[in-house]
């Protein structure tokens, strides 16, 4: 039995999220498993670094699978990408040890959320960014984003359907970057709750519109109640971009995405 780690890029517009769904609902995981199973000539189960909601994208979703099949790396890679739909691509594949687990060995996960701030809606980036057509106080939003750094109880920022046992997470960085009309929230944590990033972005957008002051975030944290927070931002602008693992696994390093997502640090 061999274990392989893979890096996957996908546009989530047509899918109901990463995880395999019941009743034939299209998911990224199931789509890739079907292709890998044909190449391996045996059932393949794919384990991802995290889950994504319907409509959410990824530039480097790390996953792994086990197989008895013996194929060259090029065979796995070229065979997969020649068969997968055009909105899913395996960027790299690497044989790894049985110790590696895409989910349980991940030390941190990183997302970026892209807002297109312009009175006119974008056409080429439809469903790939979130359009903010209203004026925003960007300096206030940049300052507010820093309030999410550190260890907090994110009870107010998770969906009612969240299945996590506890809501405390450590956010190593949360920063908003402006580049022309694009605003990119870059956030990394030891784990994320259901809708956590989208609810944080929703809060920042309300502050940017002048609905609340920055210290309103403290009140939301203190409430420990989802009703205390505001809107859930759309999935369109959200990208899973990275998972961090111990160095000895030596996974490939890849760019964080296209120019409008890969903003300077």
Catalytic residues: 53
- Rounded CA-CA distance 39/183 in Å is 41
Rg over alpha carbons for the chain, rounded to the nearest Å, is 19
**Residue 237: how many CB atoms within 10 A of its CB?**
29
- Rounded CA-CA distance 55/238 in Å is 8
Tokens of 80: 């997969």
Contact indicator for 214, 147 with CB cutoff of 8 Å: yes
- Rounded CA-CA distance 229/234 in Å is 15
Helix 28-40 to helix 73-81 angle, to the nearest 10 degrees? Answer: 130
Comparing C-alpha atoms, which of 76, 39, 77, 59 is closest to residue 128?
59
DSSP string, 25-43: ---HHHHHHHHHHHHHTS-
């Amino acid at each position: 039995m061999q274990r392989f780690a893979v890096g996957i890029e996908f546009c989530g517009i047509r899918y109901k999220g990463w995880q395999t769904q019941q009743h034939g609902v299209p998911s990224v995981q199931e789509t890739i498993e079907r292709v890998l199973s044909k190449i391996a000539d045996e059932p393949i189960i794919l384990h991802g670094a995290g889950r994504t909601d319907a409509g959410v994208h990824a530039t480097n979703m790390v996953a792994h699978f086990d197989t008895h099949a013996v194929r060259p790396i090029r065979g796995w890679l070229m065979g997969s990408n020649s068969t997968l739909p055009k909105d899913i691509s395996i960027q790299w594949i690497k044989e790894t040890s049985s110790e590696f687990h895409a989910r349980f060995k991940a030390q941190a996960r990183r997302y970026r959320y892209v807002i297109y701030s312009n009175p006119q809606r974008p056409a080429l980036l439809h469903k790939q960014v979130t359009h903010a057509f209203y004026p925003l106080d960007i300096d206030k939003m940049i300052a507010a984003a820093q309030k999410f750094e550190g260890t907090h109880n994110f009870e107010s920022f998770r969906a009612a359907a969240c299945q996590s046992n506890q809501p405390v997470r450590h956010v190593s960085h949360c920063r908003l970057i402006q580049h022309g009309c694009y605003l990119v929230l870059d956030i990394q944590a030891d784990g994320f709750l259901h809708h956590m990033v989208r609810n944080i972005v929703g809060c920042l957008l309300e502050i940017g519109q002048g609905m609340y002051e920055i210290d309103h975030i403290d009140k939301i944290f203190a409430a420990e109640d989802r009703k205390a927070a505001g809107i859930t931002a759309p999935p369109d602008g959200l990208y899973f971009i990275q998972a961090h693992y111990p160095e000895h696994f030596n996974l490939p390093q890849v760019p964080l995405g296209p120019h409008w997502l890969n903003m300077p640090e």
